[in-house]
Amino acid sequence: MAVSVRRKAEYVMADCLSGDVVGDMVHVSGEAVLGVYQVTKIDITSGSVDLPLGMIVAKPTTTSCVVQVGGEVLGLYTGLTPGKQLFIDPNSRLSHSVPTHPGSGVKSVHPVAQALSSDALFLRIQVPSVIRA
């Protein structure tokens, strides 16, 4: 008999920007206000190596969001290749493509998940690295 063990998903409530959408990767951008985290999308071209907090998985209001910080994420992304690693792209979304060397400036490389199936991934945020022009 096979044994299946899955890491329970973890969530935090946060204040985000009205333009942030479900599936965006975010980091903590300021002090908590009344116990609620302040987050903004990860910008891999900013030169910052801020550790991502997690992925927006719900937006109850225009400026509040639920951020998943680890575990299995189902149905937010499709067309994934099982077993392949996922990175944050320039739009703060996930991609199988490793960010390329910048023509100028810097880019951060954030390995944050692994595809489990075509529409499921395991969010496991790792330390980012920087590539420079």
* Tens digits of pLDDT across the chain (133 residues): 555 556 677 899 999 999 999 999 999 999 999 989 999 999 998 877 789 999 999 999 999 999 999 999 999 999 999 999 999 999 999 999 998 877 777 888 999 999 999 999 999 999 888 888 7
d(CA 41, CA 26): 4
| 8-state DSSP, 81 | -
Q: What is the DSSP string of 16-41?
A: --TT--TT-EEEEEEEEETTEEEEEE
- Decide if 26 contacts 67 (C-beta within 8 A): yes
Query: Using CB atoms within 10 A of its CB, is residue 43 exposed (0-12), middle (13-18) or buried (19+)?
Result: middle
